[in-house]
């Protein structure tokens, strides 16, 4: 009974919480140390190389002399995120490491190896239509290399991968799919968007509180008389509106320096409402919503690697 009298309910709760956190940390550490091999393939970007080339005062053509109008680049990264190196002998001969691009896509030339090949001994060769086998000597932890595929007309072609590495359970088709985002990315986006969207409401609440119990003159002349919580609320509430005001003021001044009907660079960029809408869609659904910068579907919200959206 004397021992129980020395320990409060608060101490017991903190002890239980500390034990639970320690248990979770041990599980995470065990999983990380147990994860020996972690080679992945990732789609790191889909970029515009040239669009509407037929309207330009020059000709863009492929190696066979065929004229090109729209060309895009798809970047794919080979990366060892694991704790153990991966050698050529670790890859199954019956299920080699392969990258496939949908059959309807027109790929220009051979894939280009941009970076990292000198370290890992990377090479890639075509096995059948739009399917390429990836081979390497050895990829140490944190080593990477990047490939590039040039495609015609459609930048949103479906990309997939397959292969079996001994001692590894990763699904390459999942890691290369850029239509999805990770849980950590969704949580981070959600927090950032909540901070942005709640800032104007915090300003309204802070202004109402200020004028209901204090005054603007007190805030200017005697700020120490204003509660710290109210000061923080007003400071947080003014951040996003102030940044928005500065951004739109800069665009307005730029328009003033040009003829009224003259298009400026900002006219060709997606508006912030669509950007925020795409980010909300990503945070809530896990789909990697983006706003297109292409002149062919400018401002359209889409999901890479997914033609159903």
Q: Which of 6-20, 135-149, 259-273 has the highest mean pLDDT?
A: 135-149
Residue 163 Ramachandran class (φ > 0 left, ψ -120 to 50 alpha, else beta): left
Residue 33 above 90 pLDDT? no
Chain length of the chain: 309
Residue-level pLDDT at 49: 92
Q: Are 125 and 133 in contact (CB under 8 A)?
A: yes
- Tell me: pLDDT of 34 over 80: no
CATH 2.60.40 in the chain, residue ranges: 39-175
| Angle at the Cα of 87 from the Cα atoms of 85 and 91, rounded to 5 degrees | 120
What is the residue-wise DSSP string for 258-273?
Answer: S-TTPPPGGGGSPPHH
> What does the pLDDT read at residue 3?
40
Nearest to 295 by CA among 43, 45, 54, 60: 54
DSSP states along 128-194? ETTEEEEE-SEE-TT-EEEEEEEEES-TT--EEEE--BTT----HHHHT-TTB--HHHHHHHHHHHH
Of 210, 208, 205, the residue nearest 226 (C-alpha): 210
| Category of 69 on φ-ψ map: left (φ > 0), alpha (ψ -120 to 50) or beta | alpha
Q: For every residue of 45-102, which 3-state class applies, written as one string?
A: EEEEEECCHHHCCCCCECCCCCECCCEEEEEEEEEECCCCCEEHHHECCCCCCEEEEC
The DSSP 8-state label assigned to residue 287 in this structure reads: B
C-alpha 49/C-alpha 150 separation (Å) is 9
User: What is the radius of gyration, based on Cα positions, of the chain?
Assistant: 27
Choice between 48 and 116, residue whose per-residue pLDDT is larger: 48
Give Cα 69 distance to the centre of its chain.
29
Q: What confidence category does residue 182 fall into, taking pLDDT thresholds of 50, 70 and 90? A: confident
Per-residue pLDDT, averaged over 108-119, amounts to: 80
In the predicted structure, residue 1 carries a pLDDT above the cut 60: no
Mean pLDDT in the chain?
A: 84
Cα torsion for 75, 76, 79, 85, to the nearest 10°? Answer: -130
How many angstroms separate the CA atoms of 283 and 193, rounded?
A: 9
Q: Which CATH number fits domain 39-175: 1.25.40, 1.20.5, 2.60.40, 2.40.30?
A: 2.60.40
Of residues 36 and 76, the one with the higher pLDDT is: 76
Instruction: Say whether pLDDT at 56 is over 80.
Output: yes
Q: What's the pLDDT band for 115 if we cut at 50, 70, 90?
A: confident
Residues 6+ positions from 31 with CB-CB distance below 8 Å: none
At residue 126 the predicted structure's pLDDT band, cuts being 50, 70 and 90, is very high
Residue 25, pLDDT above cutoff 70? no
If one compares 21 and 233, the residue with the highest pLDDT of the two is 233
Q: For residue 116, give the H/E element and its range.
A: none
Within 10 A of 208 (CB to CB), how many other CB atoms are there?
A: 10
């Amino acid at each position: 009974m004397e021992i129980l009298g020395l320990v409060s309910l608060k101490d017991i709760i903190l002890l239980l919480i500390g034990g639970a956190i320690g248990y979770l940390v041990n599980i995470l550490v065990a999983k990380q140390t147990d994860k020996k091999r972690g080679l992945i393939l990732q789609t790191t970007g889909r970029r515009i190389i040239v669009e509407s080339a037929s309207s330009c005062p020059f000709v863009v053509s492929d190696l066979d002399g065929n004229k090109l109008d729209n060309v895009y680049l798809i970047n794919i990264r080979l990366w060892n995120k694991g704790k153990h190196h991966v050698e050529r002998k670790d890859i199954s001969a019956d299920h080699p490491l392969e990258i496939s691009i949908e059959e309807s896509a027109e790929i220009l030339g051979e894939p280009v190896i941009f970076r990292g090949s000198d370290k890992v001994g990377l090479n890639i060769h075509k096995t059948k239509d739009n399917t390429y086998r990836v081979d390497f000597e050895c990829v140490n932890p944190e080593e990477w290399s990047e490939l590039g595929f040039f495609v015609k007309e459609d930048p949103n072609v479906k990309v997939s991968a397959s292969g079996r590495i001994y001692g590894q359970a990763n699904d390459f088709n999942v890691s290369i799919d850029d239509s999805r985002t990770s849980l950590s990315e969704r949580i981070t986006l959600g927090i950032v968007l909540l901070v942005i969207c709640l800032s104007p409401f915090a300003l309204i609440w802070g202004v109402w509180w200020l004028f209901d119990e204090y005054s603007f003159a007190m805030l200017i002349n005697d700020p120490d008389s204003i509660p710290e919580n109210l000061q923080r609320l007003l400071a947080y509430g003014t951040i996003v509106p102030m940044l928005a005001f500065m951004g739109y003021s800069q665009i307005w001044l730029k328009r003033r320096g040009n003829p009224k009907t003259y298009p400026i660079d900002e006219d060709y960029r997606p508006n912030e409402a669509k950007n925020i809408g795409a980010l909300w869609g990503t945070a809530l659904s896990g789909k990697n919503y983006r706003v297109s910068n292409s002149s062919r579907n400018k401002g359209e919200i889409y999901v890479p690697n997914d033609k159903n959206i």
